Amino acid sequence: MKGSKGFMTINKIMVVGSGTMGSGIAQVMAQHGYEVILNDIKPEFVERGLQSITKQLDKAVSKDKMTEQEKEATLKRLTASTDYTDAEDVQLVIEAATENKNIKLDIFKKLAEITPEDAILASNTSSLSITEIANATSRPEKVIGMHFFNPVPVMKLVEVTRALTTDDQTAQTILDLSQSIGKTAIDVTDSPGFVVNRVLIPMINEAVFTVYEGVATMEEVDDSMKLGANHPMGPIALADYIGLDVCLAIMTVLYEGFNDSKYRPCPLLKKYVEAGRLGRKTGRGFYEYA
């Protein structure tokens, strides 16, 4: 399963960021035979990421979806790192660090210097311009977006986002790689929100408006969309799941990127973010979590 029928063979990958997205990406890559270095700024962050992967794999074994041997082989392909120089022999970096432009630009700049000059540098960003990230590096033609969805092991899509400068070889390699890990990839041009978030986040924002305007309670809005539109999760619960700060950041990118009032973030969404009620990750968003 490993490798790529594209132009470049990928065997070894560094995933930068060991949070929910980074550890999910690392898990899926390792499960499909790739050697993965999981990197973060502190050893305890990486350890937490590896523990969450082990927990997911244990679950898969208990459900007979994976053998104990496959689990052990997957874990063996994962190594921990807090040093970018560990990426000196990788063919690909997938960055899934915090959604902060300056942090990401710095990571890309540094990794472009450390990695082999033909290595691809991909970002899992959900809201920043891939073109701007590419421009911060010495090889913008090798920079691309590889946008996964949460939970990564379950969600089948990868948005492969070309910067203005991305070359065809890079794009084809990442499209093939996405397929090799059992995902469906779409080939999109860099544009605010790409495809999924451009459609999904305004829907969530509109759901928050219906609560804000007193049209219905949040439970009623969620039940309506689950029962009336067959969504697996209501939009308010999904907002908590994604993170209200992330939803607001994406809404703001759409608002500013298209300069169109139809993307104005709901004041209630802003208020929750200002209150630090960011959703599941802080134990409280629109709903409360034990």
Binding-site residue ranges: 17-22, 40, 99, 104, 126, 150, 281
Q: Which candidate, 251, 45, 264, 22, places its Cα nearest to that of 151? A: 22
Answer for which of 108, 149, 255, 263 binds ligand CAA (CB under 6 A) is: 149
- Would you call 147 a catalytic residue per the annotation? yes
Structure tokens at 58: 């244990």
- Would you call 126 a catalytic residue per the annotation? yes
Which DSSP state fits 146? E
Q: Which candidate, 99, 139, 136, places its Cα nearest to that of 116? A: 139
HEC profile for 89-133?
A: CCCEEEECCCCCHHHHHHHHHHHHHHCCCCCEEEECCCCCCHHHH
- Would you call 231 a catalytic residue per the annotation? no
Q: Which is nearer to ligand CAA, 151 or 283 (CB)?
A: 151
Q: Which of 4, 159, 178, 180 is catalytic?
A: 159
Q: Provide the minimum distance between the beta carbon of 106 and ligand CAA in the complex, in angstroms, as a whole number.
A: 21
The CA R_g of the chain, rounded to the nearest whole Å, is 19
Enumerate residues 159-198 that contact ligand CAA by CB under 6 A. 197
- Is 154 a binding residue for ligand CAA by CB under 6 A? The answer is yes
Q: Which is nearer to ligand CAA, 29 or 238 (CB)?
A: 238
CA distance 73 to 191: 39
- Is 126 a binding residue for ligand CAA by CB under 6 A? The answer is yes
What is the per-residue binding string for ligand CAA in 220-259, x denoting contact by CB under 6 A? ------------xx----x---x---x-------------
Q: Which helix (H) or strand (E) holds 162?
A: strand 157-162
Task: By CB under 6 A, name the binding residues for ligand CAA.
Answer: 56, 63, 126, 149-151, 153-155, 197, 232-233, 238, 242, 246
